[in-house]
Structure 1
Amino acid sequence: MQNNTQIFGLRAVIEAINSDETFEKVFIQKGLKGSLAQELEQQLKKHNINYSYVPVEKLNRLTPKNHQGVVAQISPISYHDIEELTINVMESGETPFFLILDQISDVRNFGAIIRTAECTGVHGIIIQKKGSAPINGDTIKTSAGAVFKIPICRVDHIKDALFHMQASGIKVIAATEKTNDTVYQINFTEPCAIIMGSEGRGINPSVLKLADQKAKLPILGEIESLNVSVACGAFLYEAVRQRS
């Protein structure tokens, strides 16, 4: 059975996998046994779908229906292939402008970032399959529908996106306080991709060291950092200012 972007029940989820539905994540009850449960796990691994084992109480919160120990979140959008998207942008004659999100986990931050990215002409957003906020009703609402208007790509690892961008001649700029350079010292008129880190940790250190340049926003008050969606907006609009 389906409820907006959510389906539940062992057979229903297996059939959705075989029908090539795009999944955000699958939640499976801890200790679930039986042949269908085994088949589900095999299919999830085969199709590289993000899943986790959770207490039955979490499943009960997700749906009051008879979920049979499994609840899946189906994506309301189709994700783009990063290589095809990059080629299409380059062939369009426009200067590539991408946004990479390193495990932004809050759906409202994610939605707000998508909305700002669409408004600032970003050609595509790249996220990681695991650890990223899902695209659900809250994301759609916060994005004001922009989620349907801007290409979004999912990769197995954020590093894959960085390597691809750099191999395509696109400069990777990391938004981080771990630098002396401000956003106003960066040249955004060249082909570029901006990386924004997660709400708590920021950009993963192993990802940060791969960036071509690092930049920060000047903080003049006593609070040490900005909300990630606000910081992202400041970076994107500086790029717009330079490109206008």
Structure 2
Amino acid sequence: MENEVSKIFGIRAIIEAINSGKTISKVFIQKDLSGHLFSELNSLIKKNNIATSHVPVEKLNRLSKNSNHQGVAAQISPIEFADLDTLILNTLAVNPTPLFLLLDQISDVRNFGAIIRTAECTGVSGIIIQKQGNAPISADTVKTSAGAAFKIPICKVDHIKDAIFQFQAAEIQIVAATEKTENLIYDVDLTLPTALILGSEDRGINPSILKIVDHKAKLPLLGEIESLNVSVACGALLYEATRQRIKVKS
């Protein structure tokens, strides 16, 4: 297993990486960067819908260890992302009741890695993330996942809504984990073909997404703290699905 995610520096080098089909997780761009060559790079980034972050030059200096970065740095993903249509079709061909996981802009790489690890352990058929706003597959993500990032299919979509409509068209129910409901997860039939959605650490699931899901459900909170860490909540939710599915089989 690779321990580090490859990084490349320099405008021309990143342009060539994108044109050669490399999977770029994120491009870090120095604030107020301009110029003809940068405009070419910026057009490619937008065309390919690559995640970006505008940062001070000090961050780029740290990433490049003060080498000549020309105001840009990029992370090359250590994994190849799966195509969602193909994943759904291939999964349903061998498993009539799959379990998928959709992540609505999980931003912390360690939470992301922990979620990937739990998903692999509970037999999730695939994880779907959004191209913009989600934590990248970084060295910390891979490490926290204990290598599970190389074992479970991960798809990137332009928007989580795109994936929801594709799942619903395939008759896979959409279950949103949210505190904005009175329904407990234990009352939802998770033995059916299911795609479970978890929201970001700070705001949860986007309200526009909650309007189009099939079910909303929550975990009971009996203490004074109002929410769980998202990776902990994910574990509890996925193991409830596992419990229900093992019970049906027995």
Name the TM-score class by shorter chain.
over 0.9
What is the RMSD of the two structures over their aligned residues, measured on CA atoms? Answer: 1.2
User: 1:35 maps to which residue?
Assistant: 36
How many residues in Structure 1 have an aligned counterpart in Structure 2?
Answer: 242
Residue 138 (structure 1) aligns with: 140
> 1:39: how far off?
1.6
The match for 1:72 is 74
Measure, in 2, the Cα distance between the counterparts of 1:176 and 1:217. Answer: 8
1:63-117 CA deviation, whole Å, 9 max, x = no partner?
2221111001111100001110000011113412100000000000000000000
The residue that corresponds to 1:55 in the other structure is 56
Partner of 1:175: 177
Which residue of 2 is the match for residue 26 of structure 1?
A: 27
Distance of 1:196 and 1:45 partners within structure 2: 27
> Could you tell me which residue of structure 1 aligns to residue 113 of structure 2?
111
Q: Is the 8 A contact 1:104 1:131 kept in 2?
A: yes
Q: CA deviation at 1:213?
A: 0.4
- State the Cα deviation string for residues 116-159 of structure 1 (Å, max 9, x = none): 00000000000001110010110011000000000000000011
Structure 2 CA distance for aligned equivalents of residues 216 and 34 of structure 1: 50
- Give the residue type in structure 2 aligned to 1:49: I
Task: Indicate yes or no: 2:249 matched with 1:243.
Answer: no
Tell whether 2:209 aligns with 1:193: no
Give yes or no for contact 1:5–1:136 (8 Å, CA) kept in 2: no
2:7 is matched with 6
Q: How does 1:140-179 map to 2 (within 5 A)?
A: 140-179=142-181
Percent identity, aligned pairs only?
Answer: 67
Partner Cα separation in structure 1 for residue 181 and residue 34 of structure 2: 51
Tell whether the 8 Å contact from 2:81 to 2:153 is kept in structure 1 after alignment: yes
Superposed structure 1 runs of 4+ greater than 4 Å apart: none
The aligned counterpart of 2:235 is: 233
Once residues 193 and 241 of structure 1 are traced to their aligned partners in structure 2, the CA distance between those partners, rounded to angstroms, is 16
- Hey, what's the Cα distance between the residues in 2 that align with 1:209 and 1:142? 33
Flag structure 1 segments of 5+ consecutive residues without an equivalent: none
In structure 1, the residue matched to 2:95 is 93
CA contact (8 A) 1:25 1:49 kept: yes
TM-score of the two chains, using structure 1 as the length reference: 0.96
